[in-house]
């Protein structure tokens, strides 16, 4: 009979395990999916008052799913590689049986049947994953922090007065605090990597089309789905599942070979990056003012990669400041998203979202096509860059987490979230795989992330290099408080 952990320390220990550790424990009979799910639900109950990371928690449904998975594991007949593993999903992706309100008071719970899974959620169900909870998002995922008119402010697990980043902030907080080891987020301009950096977890934006999306994002082909996990090995496992084919996304890439079993890296991590050509750009050629502690941590991480056998050269890609092109694509997408709302409904929107919608409405079709020209040229230049370098390494963000509940840091003089995310959104324009790996903390104990960017379709290389950092210890940072105090 599988032992059931007592409330408290045993459950906390279970909630702190990675997905791969849980699976190994299931296979040994040390504990069951039901035990792990109970532990995760206990963690959610403990941390939610402080961090506000969850839109809704389906304890009854999760326990039923976990009970079924426990029986399948007992029989040695798992549905798939994630059978019995607790997972959370950002409240932008459809999940049958629950409304997807997307952080907005303009979306009514009774407006649809809510009887369809997004591709990522469908693949999770097919694999036997336990769908525990829905995580918070800013309204329609429009910005790089996580607060919304519907659910309020989500907070950083390392300091609840600060933002976790966004727009997949709830997912990153959930993973950081042991409220399920895996979460599925979305990334249209950094929305997986930003909160991963601010919350000290791993986040991957895979090559566009690697994970199918449906319905199509209003932000078009800027938008990716991606895993948020505790390490790169778990992300590879989750990516392999989420990459399963789905006919509803006509732009999906053909399924590629499984990545999880090919990470290698050995005991030291050297196998993962030996001989890899790395371009290290600390500030995009001086275009970005990077906080000294962030710069130092990232430089140390790059040094670790060199020690593991990578060839590192300090050089800069030719990005040519594409922010206006990104804004045109982003703002027009927001305008199209909200075009059906009447004047009273628009009053319910996040004020910042209303502003960018108005800006988007003023842009013409010619403006949009000009932005696409910039995008295609940027993609061409990055393709040429990667003919000389396998990976580009930058800070994920130039700063650490700032005050919660605001779009930009106080006193920064910035107007929009893209002003403090210059390392992330360019690679949504180019559709390249990019990951944030935790590489240290600043003087306030706030996490710092280093970004690994690969050429299109080189998801396996990005994951292999990130895995090498975890195996070698270069990615280790202190864990946040198990139950952070509520915000004052």
From the list 167, 168, 217, 281, the catalytic residue is 167
Reduce the secondary structure of the chain to three states and give it as a string. CCCCCCCCHHHHHHHCCCHHHHHHHHHHCCCCHHHHHHHHHHHHHHHHHHHCCEEEECHHHHHHHHHHHHHHHHHCCCCCCCCCCEEEEECCCCECCECCCCCCCCCCCCCCCCCCCCHHHHHHHHHCCEEEEEECCCHHHCCCCCEECCCEECCECCECCECCCCCCHHHHHHHHCCCCCEEEEEECCCCCHHHHHHHCCEEEECCCCCCCCCCCCCCHHHCEEEEEECCHHHHHHHHHHHCCCCCCCCCCCCCCCCCHHHCCCCCCCHHHHCCCEEEECCCCCCCCCCCHHHHHHHHHHHHHHHHCCCEEEECCCCCCCCHHHHHHHHHHHHHHHCCCCCHHHHCCCCHHHHHHHHHHHHCCHHHHHHHHHHHHHHHHHHHHHCCCCCEEEEECCCCCCCECCCCCCCCCCCCCHHHHCCCCCHHHHCCCCEEEEEEEECCCCCEEEEEEEECCCCHHHHHHHHHHHHHHCCCCCCCCCCCCCCCC
For residue 268, pLDDT over 70 is answered with no
Known catalytic residue: 343? no
Domain 9-472, what fold? Amidase signature (AS) enzymes (3.90.1300)
From the list 171, 183, 191, 197, the catalytic residue is 191
For residue 461, pLDDT over 60 is answered with yes
For residue 408, pLDDT over 90 is answered with yes
For residue 448, pLDDT over 80 is answered with yes
Q: What is the mean pLDDT of residues 28-49?
A: 97
Question: Over the stretch 273-308, which tens digit does the pLDDT of each residue have?
Answer: 999 999 999 999 999 999 999 999 999 999 999 999
pLDDT of residue 311: 98
Question: Over the stretch 100-114, which tens digit does the pLDDT of each residue have?
Answer: 999 999 998 988 889
Query: What percent of the chain clears pLDDT 90, i.e. is strictly above it?
Result: 89
Higher pLDDT residue, 8 or 210?
Answer: 210
For residue 5, pLDDT over 70 is answered with no
Question: Over the stretch 111-137, which tens digit does the pLDDT of each residue have?
Answer: 888 999 999 999 999 999 999 999 999
9 pLDDT band, cuts 50/70/90, is: low
Known catalytic residue: 191? yes
Model pTM score? 0.96
Known catalytic residue: 183? no
pLDDT of residue 267: 55
């Amino acid at each position: 009979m599988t032992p059931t952990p007592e409330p408290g320390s045993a459950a906390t220990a279970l909630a702190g395990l990675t997905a791969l550790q849980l699976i190994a424990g299931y296979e040994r009979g040390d504990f069951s999916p039901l035990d792990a799910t109970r532990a995760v639900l206990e963690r959610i109950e403990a941390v939610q008052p402080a961090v506000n990371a969850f839109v809704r928690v389906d304890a009854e449904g999760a326990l039923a799913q976990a009970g079924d998975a426990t029986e399948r594991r007992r029989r040695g007949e798992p549905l798939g590689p994630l059978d019995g593993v607790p997972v959370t999903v950002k409240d932008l992706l459809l999940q049958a049986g629950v409304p997807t309100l997307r952080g907005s008071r303009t979306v009514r719970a009774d407006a649809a049947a809510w009887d369809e899974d997004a591709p990522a959620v469908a693949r999770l169900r097919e694999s036997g994953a336990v769908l525990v909870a829905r995580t918070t998002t800013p309204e329609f995922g429009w910005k790089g922090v996580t607060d919304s008119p519907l659910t309020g402010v989500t907070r950083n697990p390392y300091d609840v007065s600060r933002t976790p980043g966004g727009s997949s902030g709830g997912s990153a907080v959930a993973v950081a605090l042991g409220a399920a080891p895996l979460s599925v987020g979305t990334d249209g301009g950094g929305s997986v990597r930003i909160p991963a950096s601010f919350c000290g977890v791993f986040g991957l934006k895979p090559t566009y089309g690697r994970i199918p999306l449906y319905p199509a994002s209003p932000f078009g082909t800027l938008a990716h789905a991606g895993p948020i996990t505790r390490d790169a090995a778990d992300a590879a496992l989750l990516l392999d599942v989420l990459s399963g084919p789905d006919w509803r996304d006509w732009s999906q890439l053909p399924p590629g070979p499984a990545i999880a079993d090919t990470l290698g890296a050995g005991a030291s991590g050297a196998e993962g990056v030996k001989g890899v050509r790395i371009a290290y750009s600390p500030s995009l050629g001086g275009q970005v003012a990077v906080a000294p502690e962030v710069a130092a941590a990232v430089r140390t991480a790059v040094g670790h990669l060199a020690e593991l056998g990578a060839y590192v050269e300090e050089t800069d890609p030719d990005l040519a400041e594409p922010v206006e092109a990104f804004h045109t694509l982003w703002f027009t997408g927001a305008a199209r998203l909200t075009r059906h709302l009447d004047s009273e409904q628009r009053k319910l929107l996040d004020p910042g979202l209303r502003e960018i919608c108005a800006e988007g409405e003023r842009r013409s079709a010619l403006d949009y096509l000009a932005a696409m020209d910039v995008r295609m040229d940027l993609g061409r230049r990055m393709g040429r860059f990667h003919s000389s370098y396998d990976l580009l390494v930058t800070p994920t963000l130039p700063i650490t987490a700032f005050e919660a509940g605001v779009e930009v840091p106080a006193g920064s003089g910035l107007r929009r979230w893209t002003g403090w995310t210059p390392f992330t959104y360019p690679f949504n324009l180019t559709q390249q795989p990019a990951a944030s790996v935790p590489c240290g903390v600043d003087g306030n104990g706030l996490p710092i992330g280093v970004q690994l960017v690969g050429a299109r379709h080189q998801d396996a290389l990005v994951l292999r290099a990130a895995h090498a950092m975890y195996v070698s210890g270069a990615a280790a940072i202190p864990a946040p408080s198990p139950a952070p105090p509520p915000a004052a």
